[in-house]
Amino acid sequence: MITRRLFCGCLAGALPFAATAVHAQSLECAVFTPDRQESTSPDDAIARLKAGNERFSASKSINCDLMAQVKQTATSQSPHAVIVGCIDSRVPPELVFDQRIGDVFCARVAGAIVNTDIVGSLEYSTKVAGAKAIVVLGHNFCGAIKSAVDNVKLGNITALLKNFQPALATLTKADGHRDSHNDPLVQKVAEASARLTAASLTKRSPIIKQLVEARQLKIAAAMHDITTGKVTWLA
Ligand SMILES: [Zn+2]
């Protein structure tokens, strides 16, 4: 009897939680429609990414039927955000932010820098396709940043690394020897690069500037920790 009562009590207590979890999962698996995108504010978009990373870093990513999402987004897309990230295999934005088909645009290039083509892609993602937030996502122990710190010269990498000059210019004598083995120095350059890249967007693009001024778009810089999976948002 005691066993029966305990079992019934546990089951009765568990059911509401199970129902809530299923409800949350079905909401999270709903694809973004034009209406849903329109009703998402820039702050909502950032909040969705923050919540997604909290799920990811807690091993609580939501499993959705991706092929169902493929079918539901086959004729149109209405992503809520766009992420500029590094090519690093350990920082896939959709996984890190627990996003799925049709949720976010992504532009990936070594070191998460921007050039004319990427700024054009961001203009398309926001002004044309309606995304509400741009996130520049750097990460620790970044090979591109380390190469820039070491002033590597190799093929087209030489030209790529010139993009980190503004971030390297933030270094002072107090940061110690400029060497990729100096972890705090590499981290400082990576954070400076993410911040400066995010700040550069309104200067490089009158379209992006207008959207930000109209409060239709928010730009954020963030750092992913490849050892914990956690994203830290830079002020
Ligand atoms: Zn990297």
Backbone phi and psi for residue 224, each to the nearest 5 degrees, phi listed first: -95, 135
Ligand 1 centroid to Cα of residue 94, in Å, is 16
Ligand 1 centroid to Cα of residue 157, in Å, is 13
Per-residue confidence (pLDDT) for residue 19, from 0 to 100: 60
Q: With a cut of 50, say whether residue 107 has pLDDT above it.
A: yes
- β 133-139/81-85 pair status: parallel
Ligand 1 centroid to Cα of residue 214, in Å, is 32
Per-residue confidence (pLDDT) for residue 8, from 0 to 100: 42
pLDDT digits over 2-26, tens only? 444 444 444 444 545 556 566 667 7
Per-residue confidence (pLDDT) for residue 18, from 0 to 100: 56
Cα angle 174, 199, 221 (rounded to 5 degrees) comes to 80
Side chain identity at residue 190, one-letter code: A
Ligand 1 centroid to Cα of residue 3, in Å, is 55
Overall average pLDDT of the 209-224 stretch: 98
Per-residue confidence (pLDDT) for residue 176, from 0 to 100: 96
Ligand 1 centroid to Cα of residue 114, in Å, is 13
Ligand 1 centroid to Cα of residue 75, in Å, is 33
Kindly state the tokens that stand for 86.
């590094």
Ligand 1 centroid to Cα of residue 224, in Å, is 10
Ligand 1 centroid to Cα of residue 18, in Å, is 39
User: How many other C-beta atoms can be found within 10 angstroms of the C-beta atom of residue 50?
Assistant: 14
Residues 211, 127 contacting (CB under 8 angstroms): yes
Per-residue confidence (pLDDT) for residue 235, from 0 to 100: 73
Residues 43, 217 contacting (CB under 8 angstroms): no
Q: With a cut of 50, say whether residue 140 has pLDDT above it.
A: yes
Beta-bridged to residue 83, according to DSSP, are: 106, 135
Ligand 1 centroid to Cα of residue 215, in Å, is 30
Per-residue confidence (pLDDT) for residue 192, from 0 to 100: 98
Ligand 1 centroid to Cα of residue 112, in Å, is 7
Ligand 1 centroid to Cα of residue 64, in Å, is 28
pLDDT digits over 14-68, tens only? 545 556 566 667 788 999 999 999 999 999 999 999 999 999 999 999 999 999 9
d(CA 54, CA 97): 8
Ligand 1 centroid to Cα of residue 22, in Å, is 36
Overall average pLDDT of the 204-224 stretch: 98
